[in-house]
Each structure stands twice: as C-alpha cells, then as structure tokens.
Structure 1
Amino acid sequence: MADILHTLSNEMAAVVEQAAASIVRVEGRRRLAATGVIHTADGIIVTSNHVVERDENVRVGLADGSVVPAALVGRDPSTDIAVLRVNANGLTPANWDVNNQSKVGHLVLALGRPDSSVQATLGVISALGEGWRTPMGGYIDAYVQTDVTMYPGFSGGPLLNVGGYFVGLNSSALARGVSLTIPAETIARVAGTLLQHGHVKHGYLGVSAQPVRLPGNVAQSVGQETGLLLVAVEEGSPADKAGLAMGDTIVSLDGSAVRMMDDLMGLLTGDRVGKSVPVKIVRGGQIQESHVTIGERN
C-alpha cells in the first residue's frame, strides 16, 4: 500500500510541476492577487472576471518569475470569465480537457498562483450535470462541482485531472458555499467571443417577473401550465416600448414557450439583440400577441 501511495503522490506532484508553466499570477485588485491560465502561446490569458477589479494597471506574474503588464481584452460577468493579453511569445498554453473525460469520484487538483510559486489542493469531483445558467443569465455548458478547498487567490486557477488535463477554471463567485468549475467548453466559447468583440452580448427586456400558474382554459390553449407574470416593467425599456405592462403574463417569446425565468433568460441570446420577435402574453384572461425588439443588457 505504501508503494502505491508513494507512486501516486509522485505522479500527482509531476502533474502539478508540468501544469505550473501554464499558470500565472493575476494582480488586478487591491487585496491578494489571484490566478490565471495561459490560453495561447502568444500571450492570451483567461481568468475569473471577479478578480480583475480594474480595467487598467493589471499585471501578470509569469512562471519564470517575471512580472509584465496586461491589457484587459474583455470580460463577461455572467460567466465570471475575463481575458487578458500580455506582450509575450513562446508561452506554454493549457492542455484543456476538450473531450470532457470527468466522472464523479475522479481525483482532481485545484491549482493557484496567488504568490510566486504554484499551490495545490486535492479533492474529488462530487457532482456533474447538464448546462445551467448563472444568476446573471450566463450559460455554463456543464455543471462541475468538487470538494476542493478554494484557498484565497485560487479563483481563476485551473482544475486538473490526474492526467494533467485542464478541466476548467475554478470560481468562487458563481455560487456561495460550493466549489464550481467553469468547463473548458465554456471557456473556449466565451474567450473566443471576447477576443472577437470585446464583450458578450446579452439580450434585455427590462422586466421583473415570477412564474405563475395559468388559468385552465388558457393552459389548455397554449399547451403549458405556467407562464411569467410581469411584476415590474422598466420605463423606456424594450418591454415598455412594446406595450407590455405589469400584470401581463408572458407565455412565449419568438415561438418558444416561456414557463419560468430560466426559459426567458435562455431566449435573450446575443443573436436576438436588435431583432423584433413575437411575444405572446395573457392579459385579462385573453391571449394576445405583440412584437418586441430585444435590447442589449449593459
């Protein structure tokens, strides 16, 4: 048994040593520095949005000990991802787990570089699930929960499997009391958008809403039991301009059923921004249809 544990320990230490070349320190806030991961060899770095508190005067500590200025390429608070660029070449990019090899019970390592050297903590993948939306409406392609301890400065750092592949970025901002990892698929998608456009578009209606059960005859007519009751409509918002009012119940948008807030958030995608789409509501017990031009959330 001792030999097995000794071999495993050495192999995991080797994984950390190899991964260290792709892990950087991110100095983007007043308090303790955080961590980032080298995304491309020519200086693109991904990290957590919440650890980059300023848009300028950001610095990055590389694996060789040098400290270089970094420019903020863009950020997406809804997925807690930010992209930085440093003037460097020949860096060692992360080897992402693009094939999603993770299983519940797999041993994993959370790595961070809040100081000059890499730090590590060990845990297991405790839960996996399908894609989900954050409280801000960002789409995360898979639910990855671990029992690793997120030490100060570990946000923006990677989760590694025992094969040395980067499963994703660890974040302490997406949920309280739970260690969640943003998977590689989400990082690639969001980072690609930020590199191309500098921001991620999110649709906006300007409403506050809550799920409500529909009257029996209405439910039968629309083929669903619930809709979204508007409890507030912002003045001058896209919803207001379309004639929607407090007390209306949205049952569909652009031909897709709206039963709960997640349905609506999922339909307010960037490709719908600026487009006029049909919205079906229930008002005074009657089903009505109008059109709304989707705005862009700042």
Structure 2
Amino acid sequence: MSLSATTESTLLALSNSLADIVDRVGRSVVAVHARRISSSGIHWREGIIVTSDETIRREDDITVTLPNDRTVPATLIGRDPSTDVAVLKLPDAELPVAEIGDAASLKVGHLVLAIGRGRDRGLSASLGVVSTAGGSWRSMSGGLIDRFLRLDLNLYPGCAGGSLVDATGQVVGFTTTGPRGTVLAIPAATVNRVLDRLLEKGYISRGYLGVGMQPVRLPDSLKSKLPLSSEQGVMVVSIEPQGPAERAGILLGDILVALDDTPVKDTRDVQAFLGSQSVGQTLKAQLIRGGELVELAIVVGERQGR
C-alpha cells in the first residue's frame, strides 16, 4: 500500500471513530431550555441531568429536548453557582446514561470533543485540545474545582453544559465559558461531589464568617515591629450583626493576617477555609489591631447556597 493510501486510510479511520463517538455520546446529551437561548445538558445518572449553572436563568418552567426531538418538562433539584453545577430531574427520560470517566488523566495536547445539542439544530460537536491542565482551583465565589482545564476549541452557541469527551469516548466533565471568551471544563470529579450533596440536601452548605473584607498591603512599620509571615492581609470593612465574626469579637478595621497559622493574603485565602466541612469548626484568627497582634477564636457559621 502506498504512503498516500496509508495516510488516507488512517484519516478515514480517525474520522469514522470521531463520528461514532459523537453519535454514541450524543444519545445522552439534551437541550435545556431555561433561558432565551437553549443550553446543553448531560444525562449523568438515571433521571438526572447535569448542566452549567450559568445557563439557568429561571427556576420554573424548564423544559428539555431529548435526542428524539421530544420536549419534556424538567425540575430543578439544586444548583451551585460557585462550581457552575446545576442539577435537573427528568421523569421518564428514556435515554441512555452517559459513560462517565475521569478528567485526572487529561494532559496538555490531548484531543477532546465538546458535544452539545440545540432545540432546532440538533447535535453539534467541536474537536480541539486541552491547552492548559492544572491542579485544583477556586472560582471567584469560592467553589472548589478539582482541576483547571482550559480547552482550545469552539464552544458553539447553546453548547455550554454539554459533554467534554476524551479520546476513549468517555464523558470527563462538561464545558462552560470562562473569562474573555475562553472555554473551560468542570471535571467529572467536581460534578459528582456537588451532585451528591445536592441530591442529599437540595443545596450546598457553606461556611461563612459574616464579614466584608478587602486585601491590603501591610506598611513597613508593622512588618518590622511584628512577627509576620506575609506582606499582605485582609482588612475587615463590614461586619454582619450577630454573625460569627461579631460574636468572636472582630472589629471594623481589624486586619486578618492568618487563619489556623496559615497566612491570609486575599479573600480567596479566607474562602479556602469556608467549605461545607468547615461549618461548626473553630478557626484561630490572627489579627492586627491598633498595631498589635491579637488572636481570636471564630466558630464558622453556615450559609446555604442556592
């Protein structure tokens, strides 16, 4: 067989393989109608649809279009804006459950597919690569996401919330939009963790301190006077009446520099201590007040996410 014939055969095999994966995975991808423009969702578990929370604009009168073009009502079970996960209940789904994999093995350069579904145009797919793969990170609202995955592919209108598929054909997360038009993925590990909590409680329990804060740079006079491990901290600019911080004795103008002996440089450092597991725990807070170091104990309160 000539080189050109071998190349043609290889490309044809790859093309057919990709088309087969899209067809198979697409049977568990639906169109979700919860805003003016539909988004996509994944039949993640029996009767459970997972989609991107940022595409849910209303909580009632949500419908889903199935692969057979039938549109049926769906009920919002719960949502977690901090991880961008929303969960819908779909009665009598009559479609296969997605084969869920693990995004932990994805590396920069790996081929991936984004598969979505629209109300009118049906199934759509985009082929690209993983352009960035990092460790766990926190969203702007403090949600813990197990891997940072940025994708180099086109996310067509209505495809947010659709399947991210690896080269084995497994669904390893869903696609969503990031800052400045980037395409990100919410990995399956994050989806499963949030999904379990939403199915159990209907909401995500989060720790909170009841303070408003802003980052500040510490002056040289304080850094030379006090045994500080950082050049920054967060200043308390507001306090919720009867909240955990007020009950602990925190005052306006206090500068928080450490929690449980871990330096605090900005508000994300504080949010890292306020996951659902922190509710009811006591944190040792180190503060600067009147030019001196003060230590207080704060019992973390509970705030229910949407």
Q: Is TM (by shorter chain) over 0.5?
A: yes
State the structure with more CA Rg.
2
Secondary structure, aligned partner of 1:176: helix
Tell me by how many angstroms 1:16 deviates: 0.1
Give matches, 1:201-220, under 5 Å: 201-205=205-209, 206-213=211-218, 215-217=222-224
Secondary structure of the equivalent of 1:162? coil
Q: Any residues of structure 2 matched to 1:1-298 within 5 Å, and which? A: 1-29=7-35, 31-41=36-46, 43-88=47-92, 91-98=95-102, 100-116=104-120, 117-172=122-177, 174-205=178-209, 206-213=211-218, 215-217=222-224, 221-222=227-228, 224-236=229-241, 237-297=243-303
Kindly state the Cα deviation for residue 178 of structure 1 after the two structures are TM-superposed: 1.2
- Percent identity, aligned pairs only, is 37
* CA distance in 1: counterparts of 2:105 and 2:277, whole angstroms: 31
Whole-angstrom distance in 1 between the partners of 2:238 and 2:225: 23
Residues 154-163 or 234-243, more deviating: 234-243
The answer to whether the 8 A contact 2:133-2:149 is kept is yes
How large is the RMSD of aligned CA atoms in angstroms?
2.0
CA distance 1:218–1:76, change in 2 (3 Å) = farther
Do the aligned partners of 2:146 and 2:190 also contact (CA within 8 Å) in 1?
Answer: yes
Does the 8 Å contact 1:233/1:244 carry over to 2? no
TM-score scaled by length of structure 2: 0.89
Contact 1:226 1:251 in 2 (8 A): no
Unmatched runs of 5 consecutive residues or more in structure 1: none
Greater Cα shift, 110-119 or 14-23: 110-119
How far does residue 199 in structure 1 lie from its aligned partner after superposition?
Answer: 1.0
Extract structure 1 runs of 4+ deviating beyond 6 A: none
**CA shift for structure 1 position 144:** 0.4
For residue 239 of structure 1, give the secondary structure of its aligned residue in structure 2: helix
Q: Secondary structure at the match of 1:2?
A: helix
Contact 1:230 1:245 in 2 (8 A): no
Amino acid at match of 1:70: A
Gaps of 5+ in 2: 1-6
Q: In the TM superposition, what whole-angstrom CA distance separates every residue of 1:188-208 from its partner, at most 9, and x where no partner exists? A: 101111111111122222222
